[in-house]
Structure 1
Amino acid sequence: MNKLKQSQLVPEERIIKRIVQVRGEKVILDLHLAELYGVETRTLKQAVRRNIERFPEDFMFELTEEEIESVVSQNVIPHKKHFGGAKPFAFSETGVAMLSSVLRSDTAIEMNIAIMRTFVSLRKLSVNYQEVMRVLDEMRIQYDNQFEDIYRVLEHLIHKPEQPRNVIGFNLNREKKQ
């Protein structure tokens, strides 16, 4: 019961705000994970370094100077000094899952579950967004073709040569000529 209450205290929005795009991948920085897990960043990094074989490049990577500047410019953190001089680690979804085997506190386990659920929700949203974009693209192509057909018909009607018309009705001038 206590575990359920703790996980409900962390809204999904709080986790979503911590997820950033780096190297084309959704990641969470070590300082944000440490905050969510309730541990110091240095403690989290020490645990990772002691088990570095569990964290290949697609699970966790160290940010470059350019990536740090990008994260700062995205307002993920207010200033570079928040890293304390050390380059931050960025954890992918699988890296966050692996952290549960390194950090074994109840809070870390609970938070890990919440973070994994958030990543899954984001992935579902991404799939839905891609599907909507695909349907919109198909509709655009369909309507482009229909407008092209309408344009061709109108063009044909505008440039169609006019043929002389027969006069309809009683014409006085016609009778006089006969």
Structure 2
Amino acid sequence: MVRSKALTRVEGITPGILVFRGQRVILDRELAVIYGVTTKRLNEQVKRNSERFPEDFMFQLTPEEAELSRSQFATLKPGRGQNIKYRPYAFTEHGAIQAANVLSSPRAIEMGVFVVRAFVKLRQMLASNKELAQKVDELERKLQTHDRAIVDILKAIRELMNPPTPARRVPLPERLCTRAHGRRRSATYAF
């Protein structure tokens, strides 16, 4: 089924880009909508031109991956006849461009540019997120250093707030307690 509303903004394409097997891909049903054809027609053209689609351009999802992709779309219902009949194909950025070339319709060629821009924008967003994550990590390290310094300062303040312990009186030997004039001194000294 083809949507009547044309997708001409990159922001409309970007949410359809998913990650499978460590690669950013767009599923055949999303790509078909973007290019203005049915999923069946897209897959027919891909099969007819299979030599143009090596594994790094396109791959078919495993049953587990297909189930995972299904959970991404709330419109699909569980039950007999309500689910995906065939496992979807996932197209990488290069595969999506190649699909536009094999379809060779004016809309597919025009929308191929938007698909490429969507992949580029996603790459830029991920790069900026990495930079942001690095800055957050750096701030966390600084905070930990500051926290340790604050704890040390608070310990020092607590020690200063406690009353000093009274000096301990140590008895001196008797011979040290007499002065030269014969008078006795105190037999203890504070330390």
TM-score, normalised by the number of residues in structure 1: 0.77
- Alpha carbons of structure 1 residues 88 and 9: separation in structure 2 relative to 1, 3 Å: closer
Which secondary structure state, in structure 1, belongs to the residue aligned with residue 164 of structure 2? coil
- How far apart are the structure 2 equivalents of 1:92 and 1:48? 13
Matched, 1:62 2:63: no
Q: 1:132 is matched by which residue type in structure 2?
A: L
Which secondary structure state, in structure 2, belongs to the residue aligned with residue 39 of structure 1? coil
Contact 2:16 2:30 survives alignment (8 Å): yes
Match of 2:123 in 1: 123
RMSD between aligned alpha carbons? 2.3
- How far apart are the structure 1 equivalents of 2:31 and 2:7? 16
Match of 1:24 in 2: 22
Which secondary structure state, in structure 1, belongs to the residue aligned with residue 24 of structure 2? strand
Q: 2:119 is matched by which residue type in structure 1?
A: F
- How far apart are the structure 2 equivalents of 1:105 and 1:52? 18
Contact 1:16 1:118 survives alignment (8 Å): yes
Matched, 1:132 2:132: yes
Contact 1:29 1:89 survives alignment (8 Å): yes
Q: 2:139 is matched by which residue type in structure 1?
A: M
Number of aligned residue pairs: 157
User: Would you identify which runs of 4 or more consecutive aligned residues in structure 1 move more than 6 Å?
Assistant: none
Match of 1:43 in 2: 41
Contact 1:34 1:41 survives alignment (8 Å): yes
Structure-to-structure mapping, 1:51-130, within 5 angstroms: 51-75=49-73, 78-79=76-77, 81=82, 83=84, 85-130=85-130
Matched, 1:163 2:164: yes
Q: Which has the higher contact order (CA 8 A, sep 6+)?
A: 1
Contact 1:60 1:95 survives alignment (8 Å): yes
Whose radius of gyration is greater, 1 or 2?
A: 2
Contact 2:58 2:91 survives alignment (8 Å): yes
- How far apart are the structure 2 equivalents of 1:79 and 1:26? 25
- How far apart are the structure 2 equivalents of 1:96 and 1:156? 65
- Alpha carbons of structure 1 residues 79 and 27: separation in structure 2 relative to 1, 3 Å: farther
Q: Where in structure 1 are there 5+ consecutive unaligned residues?
A: 1-7, 166-178
The structure where helix makes up a greater share of residues is 1
- How far apart are the structure 2 equivalents of 1:67 and 1:32? 16
Contact 2:58 2:92 survives alignment (8 Å): yes
Q: Deviations over 1:32-57 (max 9, x none)?
A: 11111111212211221122222222
- How far apart are the structure 1 equivalents of 2:39 and 2:50? 16
Q: Deviations over 1:4-62 (max 9, x none)?
A: xxxx8622232123222222332111111111111121221122112222222221110
Identical aligned pairs, as a percentage?
Answer: 37
Question: Which one is further off, 133-142 or 150-159?
Answer: 150-159
Q: 1:151 is matched by which residue type in structure 2?
A: V
Q: 1:89 is matched by which residue type in structure 2?
A: Y
Deviation (angstroms), 1:139? 0.9
Match of 1:34 in 2: 32
